[in-house]
């Protein structure tokens, strides 16, 4: 998991997205409402470069995310999903793919909007939508009902707050550096005004981050005990520690350094602290990348059918479909399996064909590959399975969708002696 490429791609994608949107927020909400100093057009051009860099990296990492996710879903190599249309099927047939397409359009629009500095409403709206849309393809988006809607709204606000604070820091550091180079009264006055505006914007963002963070943790953690008892919880706890460090630095900036502007030491220390916040913030985003690859401790779906006492059961969740696999009895020997394939709202996923593959524990036998028969209730049944040994097996459900696309769902399942 430490070297999980998809987790690192996710982190890089969120960093690029936050950079692009946060720079737009900073320019429109903190910088340009003030009286602009002489030669501000140069700084505006540099901020536009930040936006375009963030957008370009967002598109690049978004493509890599799509390809890697398609390879995981379909159980194919990266080359195969690129050459044989697997990535296209994920793009065309999934919620994640639809969001990717919409965000690509927004990226192009946002890149053009920043060329018109007099217009603020449309760039801010496009940047906010571009930043918030991933919430609909996250763990929050997989939660059904009203609770899921509230979780998505909280996750979107969490992203927007991170963009307003963390995403604005590079542009803020660039402003401080420019002011130190210019050393002119109009730039000093401008920097003081922008710093005061940005500090209040950051304060609101921090408050929103704390509230939405509590809401998200309540939805994703089973209990406070999970913060030190589970991998997912420990990453959340580490994220909280890093966030607290960032808040501490931001407090020093607001209450100690800002009142001392425009002295050179205050400008220098503000710039240094902003760069430190950026470094810590990127570490937080790396944690976010890994958290998206782990199952939340509270993300437990109820079994859709009664599980016999002696059966082995596993729930498999993927962006395209879910599967409940019951093997009865769940011990070595003869058994039967029932597979229920469903969508995220628990309705039946209509499929052309379903196969069940069971891989035994290492060096303990051959894989079992059997076709399933569809039942009248929509489930799929496999009889006469011979489980040769106890231990942790790997179950793979291979679903052929009505469109002809292949979906592979896999998870471990424990077989008793």
In a domain, 162, yes or no: yes
- Whether 198 and 337 share a structural domain: no
In a domain, 233, yes or no: yes
Helix axes 5-25, 169-182, angle to 10 degrees: 50
Across 369-375, average pLDDT: 92
d(C-alpha 371, C-alpha 400), whole Å:
12
Handedness of CA 35, 37, 43, 45 (dihedral sign): positive
Whether 194 contacts 37, CB under 8 Å = no
- Whether 285 and 325 share a structural domain: no
- Asked whether residue 1 carries a pLDDT value surpassing 80, the answer given is no
CATH of residue 360's domain is: 2.60.40.10
- Whether 233 and 376 share a structural domain: no
Q: What is the pLDDT of residues 329-348, one digit of tens each?
A: 999 899 999 999 987 667 78
Nearest CA to 127 out of 158, 153, 164 is that of 164
Region of residue 135 (phi > 0: left; psi between -120 and 50: alpha; otherwise: beta): alpha
Question: Taking the model in full, what pTM does it have?
Answer: 0.73
- Whether 44 and 103 share a structural domain: yes
d(C-alpha 58, C-alpha 21), whole Å:
11
The model's confidence at residue 363, banded by pLDDT at 50, 70 and 90, is low
Across 186-214, average pLDDT: 92
Least confident of 75-79, 145-149, 223-227, 323-327: 145-149
In a domain, 48, yes or no: yes
The model's confidence at residue 75, banded by pLDDT at 50, 70 and 90, is low
Q: What is the pLDDT of residue 59?
A: 95
- Give every CB contact of residue 11 below 8 A, 6+ residues apart in sequence: 282, 285, 286, 288, 289, 290
- Asked whether residue 410 carries a pLDDT value surpassing 80, the answer given is yes
In a domain, 304, yes or no: no
- Whether 58 and 14 share a structural domain: yes
In a domain, 110, yes or no: yes
- Whether 209 and 347 share a structural domain: no
- Whether 175 and 226 share a structural domain: yes
- Asked whether residue 319 carries a pLDDT value surpassing 70, the answer given is no
Q: What is the pLDDT of residue 267?
A: 92
- Whether 57 and 191 share a structural domain: yes
When divided into structural domains, the chain yields a total of 2
Least confident of 224-228, 261-265, 382-386: 224-228
- Whether 153 and 233 share a structural domain: yes
- Whether 199 and 287 share a structural domain: yes
In a domain, 267, yes or no: yes
In a domain, 353, yes or no: yes
Q: Within 10 A of 375 (CB to CB), how many other CB atoms are there?
A: 12
Share of the chain above pLDDT 70, in %: 90
Domain boundary among 258, 291, 324: 291
Domain boundary among 229, 262, 291: 291
- Asked whether residue 3 carries a pLDDT value surpassing 80, the answer given is no
Q: Which residue has the higher pLDDT, 318 or 300?
A: 318
Helix axes 5-25, 121-132, angle to 10 degrees: 160
Q: What is the pLDDT of residue 347?
A: 76
Nearest CA to 24 out of 136, 130, 154 is that of 130
Domain boundary among 241, 259, 291: 291
d(C-alpha 381, C-alpha 292), whole Å:
32
Bond into 70 cis (ω within 30): no
Q: Which residue has the higher pLDDT, 226 or 377?
A: 377
In a domain, 298, yes or no: no
β-pair partners for 358: 368, 395
Buried b (16+ CB within 10 A) or exposed e, 354-365: bbbbbbbeeeee
Q: What is the pLDDT of residue 142?
A: 54
- Whether 323 and 411 share a structural domain: yes
Q: Which domain holds residue 398?
A: 312-415
Q: What is the pLDDT of residue 133?
A: 92
Whether 336 contacts 383, CB under 8 Å = yes
Tell me, letter by letter, the H, E, C secondary structure of the chain. CCCCHHHHHHHHHHHHHHHHHHHHHHHHHHHCCCCCCCCHHHHHHHHHHHHHHHHHHHHHHHHHHHHHHHHHHHCCCHHHHHHCCHHHHHHHHCHHHHHHHHHHHHHHHHHHHCCCCCCCHHHHHHHHHHHHHHHHHCCHHHCCHHHHHHHHHHHHHHHHHHHHHHHHHHHHHHHHHHHHHHCCHHHHHHHHHHHHHHHHHHHHHHHHHHHHHHHHHHHHCCCCCHHHHCHHHHHHHHHHHHHHHHHHHHHHHHHHHHHHCCCHHHHHHHHHHHHHHHHHHHHHHHHHHHHCCCCCCCCCCCCCCCCCCCCEEEEEECCCCEEEEEEECCECEEEEEEEEEECCCCCECCEEEEEEEEECCCCCCCCEEEECEECCCCCEEEEEEEECCCEEEEEEEEEEECCCCEEEEEEEEEEEC
- Asked whether residue 145 carries a pLDDT value surpassing 80, the answer given is no
- Whether 72 and 218 share a structural domain: yes
Q: What is the pLDDT of residues 89-123, one digit of tens each?
A: 777 767 788 888 999 999 999 999 998 877 888 99
The model's confidence at residue 177, banded by pLDDT at 50, 70 and 90, is very high
Across the chain, mean pLDDT equals 86
């Amino acid at each position: 998991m430490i070297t999980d490429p998809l987790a690192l791609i996710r982190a890089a994608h969120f960093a690029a997205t936050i950079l692009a949107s946060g720079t737009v927020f900073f320019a429109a909400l903190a910088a340009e409402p003030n009286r602009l100093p002489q030669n501000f057009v140069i700084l505006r051009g540099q901020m536009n470069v930040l936006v375009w860099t963030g957008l370009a990296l967002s598109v690049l990492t978004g493509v890599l995310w799509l390809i890697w996710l398609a390879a995981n879903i379909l159980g194919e190599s990266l080359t195969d999903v690129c050459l044989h249309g697997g990535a296209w099927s994920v793009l065309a047939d999934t919620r994640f793919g639809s969001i990717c397409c919409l965000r690509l359009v927004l990226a192009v629009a946002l890149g053009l909007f920043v060329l018109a500095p007099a217009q603020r409403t449309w760039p801010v709206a496009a940047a906010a939508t571009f930043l918030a849309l991933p919430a609909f393809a996250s763990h929050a988006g997989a939660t059904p009902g009203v609770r899921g809607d509230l979780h998505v709204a909280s996750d979107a606000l969490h992203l927007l707050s991170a963009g307003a604070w963390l995403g604005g820091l590079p542009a803020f550091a660039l402003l401080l550096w420019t002011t130190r180079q210019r050393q002119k009264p109009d730039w000093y006055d401008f920097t003081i005004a922008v710093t005061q505006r940005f500090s209040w914007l950051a304060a609101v963002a921090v408050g929103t981050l704390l509230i939405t963070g509590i809401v998200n943790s309540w939805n994703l953690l089973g209990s406070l005990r999970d913060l030190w008892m589970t991998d997912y919880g420990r990453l959340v706890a580490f994220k909280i520690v890093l966030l607290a460090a960032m808040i501490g630095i931001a407090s020093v900036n607001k209450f100690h350094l800002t009142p001392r502007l425009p002295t050179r030491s205050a400008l220098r220390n503000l710039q240094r602290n902003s760069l430190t916040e950026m470094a810590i913030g990127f570490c937080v985003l790396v944690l976010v990348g890994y958290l998206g690859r782990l199952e939340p401790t509270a993300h437990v779906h109820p079994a859709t059918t009664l599980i016999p006492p002696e059966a082995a059961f596993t729930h498999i969740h993927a962006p395209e479909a879910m599967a409940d696999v019951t093997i009865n009895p769940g011990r070595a020997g003869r058994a039967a399996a029932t597979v229920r394939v469903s969508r995220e709202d628990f309705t039946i996923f209509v499929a052309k064909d379903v196969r069940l593959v069971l891989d035994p524990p290492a060096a303990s036998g051959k894989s079992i590959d059997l076709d399933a028969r569809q039942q009248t209730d929509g489930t799929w049944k496999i009889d006469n399975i011979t489980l040769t040994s106890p231990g942790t097996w790997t179950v793979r459900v291979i679903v052929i969708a009505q469109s002809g696309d292949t979906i592979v769902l896999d998870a471990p399942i424990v077989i008793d002696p």
